[in-house]
Amino acid sequence: MGSLPPLDAPLPLGPEAFLDESRPVIDFLNGYYRDIESYPVRPDAEPGWLRTLLPDVPPEHGDPVEAILEDVQQHIIPGLTHWQSPNFFAYFPANGSAAGLMGDMLTSGLNVVPFSWASSPAATELESVVVDWMCKLLGLPDRFLFSCGGRGVLHGSTCEGVVSTLAAARDRALRSLGHEGIVRLVVYASDQSHATFQKGTSIIGIPPANFRIIPTSASSGYGLTADSVYDAVEADIASGLVPLYLCATIGTTGVGAVDPVRGLGEVARRYCMWLHVDVAFAGSALICPEFRDCINGAELADSVSMNPHKWFLTNMDCCCLWVANPQVLTSALSTNPEYLNNIGKGGTEVIDYKDWQIALSRPFRAMKLWVVLHRYGAAGMRAHIRRHVEMAKWFERMVRADERFEVVTPRSFSLVTFRLRPQNELEDEISVDALNRKLLVAINTSGRAFMTHFVVDNKFVIRMAMGGAMTQMRHVRDAWKLVKEKAKEVGAFPREYAQVREMN
């Protein structure tokens, strides 16, 4: 055995260590935000480069904070994709905020583990209050409120919510079918639904072949129609299968499509399917009454999930899941090992959130969401959302006004999809796609913006997703300028044509 350590050595946590260590980090992050526009949004990194820069083994002796921050600056920053850059328009945003970071600091600093009510009562109580606040703010049906028997929980990701609700629906169904029935259960989603539903279905043990991907089309704005679900369900029932779970999405990842919740809810009710409504991204917009029509019919849903870590200024990770009937969820996910039993208060009268999720342990996520709401207020959050939607409208107008481009699918909240359009009837889709791919690579290689793509109706489209906390109109204007500049560079237009256009 090694030499005995001093039992009262300086503590790795405590007032002195903490003050000394945290201030330089604040200054570092302050500098990061100040300089963030000077970094390429997406780095030009080679796979494996960082491994060659770092030692093979951890240091034997610790280094001061300053040395660590120097390493972050030298080795890590140049290899990051800067999600907080005002020029990040890729995927969906994962915007953070000063309040979100403040909340994370409190979460991490208090570092409590609220797996049960008793293991940190205020954390569980705050969570149940803040998910009610969110439910009201989004205009979700009362049935998801604590006072109406429904309830919410904070997970780390939509996928965790999906796996949890799928497991709940499965176990409820298997109580009458018997466990062998698991191979007969069917889950329905659209070709626009997030991959998380397919993955979740596999994780909970339903045969991959029983995941139905129902096609959508431009005629319904790529929304999943109730009729198409009805047809698929009837065909499955005729084959001896059992409909289990239907996924509806408000604001799909590819093009922001909106599924008709009421129609889907009616089909789900008819066949006793669990209806889950995924508003991961667009849920943030529901706080503005003018965007709330799309949630009509949500009273037919069994569960709804929404990600504050996308467009709601809440730093990673945070997902709200509401369920109308918590008992179905907890009966699938409860455990009661002796070492967690509480000798004292608690018990059946309180929420033990370990029984509402996959894991037992969990961070105090409610803190950061509460701090965000407390700091910006409902009015501040609505202004934040409307600002990005206005930016998207401006970008959409620019694209529509330029006949070299086209808006491919209707703007959805703050997401615009566009592409270089075919220049004449002879140009085939394959070469148009190739040109748009080249355009996207050119945009991203410039480091001045980062966008991603999707393929819809066999068309390659570029996605411009607004939502960064630091994004201002000037960044959106610059992005549009960049698109036109790179389109010219990749030879998108006949030379003369382009010149004429640029003069306008």
Interaction residues for its own copies, span 319-378 (CB under 8 A): 332-333, 335-341, 343-346, 349-350, 358-364, 367, 371, 373-378
| Closer to its own copies by Cβ: residue 265 or 454 | 454
| Closer to its own copies by Cβ: residue 137 or 498 | 137
Q: Does 40 bind its own copies (CB under 8 A)?
A: no
Task: Tell me if the bond preceding 317 is cis, omega within 30° of 0.
Answer: yes
The Cβ of residue 227 has, within 10 Å, a number of other Cβ atoms equal to 11
Residues with Cβ within 8 Å of residue 327, at least 6 apart in sequence: none
Residue type, 401: A
Residue 289 is inside which H or E element, if any? Answer: none
- Burial (0-12, 13-18, 19+ Cβ within 10 Å), 316: middle
| Closer to its own copies by Cβ: residue 262 or 438 | 438
Contact stretch for its own copies (CB under 8 A) within 7-15, 223-231, 265-273, 488-496: 7-15
| Closer to its own copies by Cβ: residue 265 or 363 | 363
Secondary structure of residue 413 in the 3-state scheme: coil
Secondary structure of residue 426 in the 3-state scheme: coil
Interaction residues for its own copies, span 207-236 (CB under 8 A): 207, 209
Contact stretch for its own copies (CB under 8 A) within 3-11, 213-221, 226-234, 239-247: 3-11
Q: Does 458 bind its own copies (CB under 8 A)?
A: no
Query: Minimal distance in Å, beta carbon 219 to its own copies?
Result: 21
| Closer to its own copies by Cβ: residue 267 or 352 | 352
* Position among 148, 218, 272, 473 found at the interface with its own copies (CB under 8 A): 473
Residue 174 CA to residue 170 CA, distance in Å, equals 6
Q: Does 414 bind its own copies (CB under 8 A)?
A: no
Confirm if 282 and 294 have CB atoms less than 8 A apart. Answer: yes
* Position among 13, 238, 401, 426 found at the interface with its own copies (CB under 8 A): 13
Query: Minimal distance in Å, beta carbon 158 to its own copies?
Result: 8
| Closer to its own copies by Cβ: residue 51 or 495 | 51
| Closer to its own copies by Cβ: residue 453 or 488 | 453
* Position among 194, 212, 411, 488 found at the interface with its own copies (CB under 8 A): 194
In order, the DSSP letters of 373-394 are HHHHHHHHHHHHHHHHHHHHHH
Query: Minimal distance in Å, beta carbon 277 to its own copies?
Result: 18
Q: Does 61 bind its own copies (CB under 8 A)?
A: yes
* Position among 177, 183, 213, 241 found at the interface with its own copies (CB under 8 A): 183
Enumerate the β-bridge partners of residue 88.
450
| Closer to its own copies by Cβ: residue 165 or 300 | 165
* Measured distance between the N- and C-terminal CA atoms of the chain, rounded to whole angstroms: 80
Binding track, positions 276-315, relative to its own copies; x by CB under 8 A = ------------xxx----------------x-x---x-x
Confirm if 24 and 69 have CB atoms less than 8 A apart. Answer: yes
| Closer to its own copies by Cβ: residue 98 or 482 | 98
Residue type, 304: V
Give the count of residues interacting with its own copies (CB under 8 A). 189
Of 258, 234, 244, 162, the C-alpha closest to 211 is 244
Q: DSSP state, 250?
A: B
Q: Does 46 bind its own copies (CB under 8 A)?
A: yes
Of 135, 203, 168, 136, the C-alpha closest to 357 is 168
Interaction residues for its own copies, span 14-33 (CB under 8 A): 14-15, 17-23, 25-26, 28-33
* Position among 40, 41, 87, 97 found at the interface with its own copies (CB under 8 A): 97
Q: DSSP state, 128?
A: H
Interaction residues for its own copies, span 104-163 (CB under 8 A): 104-113, 117-123, 125-126, 128-129, 132-134, 136-137, 146, 156-160, 163
Contact stretch for its own copies (CB under 8 A) within 74-82, 222-230, 401-409, 493-501: 74-82
Residues with Cβ within 8 Å of residue 292, at least 6 apart in sequence: 139, 286
Residue 118 CA to residue 320 CA, distance in Å, equals 22
Confirm if 182 and 174 have CB atoms less than 8 A apart. Answer: yes
Q: Does 497 bind its own copies (CB under 8 A)?
A: no
Of 310, 318, 300, 277, the C-alpha closest to 131 is 318
* Sign of the CA dihedral with 290 first, then 293, 296, and 302 last: negative
Residues 157, 162, 165, 166, Cα dihedral to 10° = -150
* Position among 153, 169, 204, 257 found at the interface with its own copies (CB under 8 A): 204
Can you read off the two tokens belonging to residue 394? 């401006």
Residue 418 CA to residue 421 CA, distance in Å, equals 9
| Closer to its own copies by Cβ: residue 200 or 260 | 200
